[in-house]
Amino acid sequence: MSDGYTPGTEAFTMVPAGTQASDKPATRRNVPTRGGEANPSAAQLVAKFGPAIVRTWVGCGETNVVVQAERIHDVIQWLHEDHGQRYEYLVDVTAVEYRDAGRPLEVVWHLRSLSFLRFLRLKVELPVRGPLVVPSITDIYSGADWMERECWDMFGIRFAGHPDLRRILLWEDYREGFPLRKDFPLRGRFSRAEQLKQVLAADPEARYSKEELTIAEAFDSLPEDMRRRIATDIASGDDEFGE
């Protein structure tokens, strides 16, 4: 698959800082608003992976490819490493849940090839009621780390193989569920009184993770109940609303 080509090394031109012009010609037109050309990678993906590619279409000038969940890691790895694809740049990892409860939840990857100036959207469809698990691509793109954590935080999608899948924007013992799911009310699951109670009960010392307290050798000196809570809560990431 890859013959010694390290993604991201060849395509770039090194220009000294200062007023030198970029050598990329400014010839491309604005992105079309309707339709547009299909990204050739879509057809090549179908040829390469066959039945693993569920469907492809072009909308708003962007090419969408729906991939089977179990093959998404292989597909992204191939797109990243193949000479003809060179998707060096991971733009975004996110998810979409539709208001129509019958529609599957979609995990969305936006990839960009800086060498060929292409943009590709990959999707995996997951049944809303089923296990929300997709493979992590942190081994391909280091930038996927926080994006996947945010996706877990907001949607409860597990990224199998992620080295450190913790909540990122919300605090680690947040118990109300996953905010961007459509069954999550805008004001949260708990009443204001309950939320206030939890905030007042929170111990500022517990804002350090077990890992961090171990560095400071402070973990062992914590009270027994706090030690138990930190040790059990953080590693699991489970709560009653997940899955």
Q: Which of residues 55-84 bind another protein (CB under 8 A)?
A: 59-62, 64
Rounded to whole angstroms, how far apart are CA atoms 2 and 132? Answer: 31
Is 28 or 47 the residue whose CB approaches another protein more closely? 28
Q: Which of 1, 21, 47, 201: binder of another protein (CB under 8 A)?
A: 21
Q: Which stretch binds another protein (CB under 8 A): 20-28, 47-55, 66-74, 191-199?
A: 20-28
Neighbours of 42 (CB within 10 A): 21
Q: Which stretch binds another protein (CB under 8 A): 42-50, 70-78, 116-124, 225-233?
A: 116-124
Work out how close the CB of 84 gets to another protein at its nearest, in angstroms, rounded to a whole number: 18
Query: Which residues within the stretch 86-115 sit at the binding site for another protein (CB under 8 A)?
Result: 88-92, 94, 96-100, 108, 110, 114
Q: Which of 23, 37, 220, 224: binder of another protein (CB under 8 A)?
A: 23
Total binding residues toward another protein, as defined by CB under 8 A: 75
Examine residue 212 and tell whether it contacts another protein (CB under 8 A): yes
| Token pair belonging to 78 | 């191939």
Put residue 8 in one of left, alpha, beta given phi > 0 → left and psi -120 to 50 → alpha: left
Residue 164 burial class via C-beta count within 10 angstroms: exposed 0-12, middle 13-18, buried 19 and up: exposed
One character per residue 129-148, x = contact with another protein (rule: CB under 8 A) = ------------xxxxxxx-
Single-letter residue type at 98? Y
The alpha carbon of residue 10 and the mean position of all alpha carbons in its chain are separated, in whole angstroms, by 27
Examine residue 227 and tell whether it contacts another protein (CB under 8 A): no
| Token pair belonging to 6 | 């390290």
Rounded to whole angstroms, how far apart are CA atoms 104 and 113? Answer: 28
Q: Which of 1, 3, 4, 13: binder of another protein (CB under 8 A)?
A: 13
Instruction: Classify 235 as helix, strand or coil.
Output: helix
Query: Which residues within the stretch 162-201 sit at the binding site for another protein (CB under 8 A)?
Result: 167-171, 179-180, 184, 186
Rounded to whole angstroms, how far apart are CA atoms 87 and 75? Answer: 11
- Residue 56 belongs to what H/E stretch? strand 53-59
Query: Which residues within the stretch 24-53 sit at the binding site for another protein (CB under 8 A)?
Result: 24, 26-31, 33-34
Examine residue 221 and tell whether it contacts another protein (CB under 8 A): no
Rounded to whole angstroms, how far apart are CA atoms 184 and 175? Answer: 12
Examine residue 20 and tell whether it contacts another protein (CB under 8 A): yes
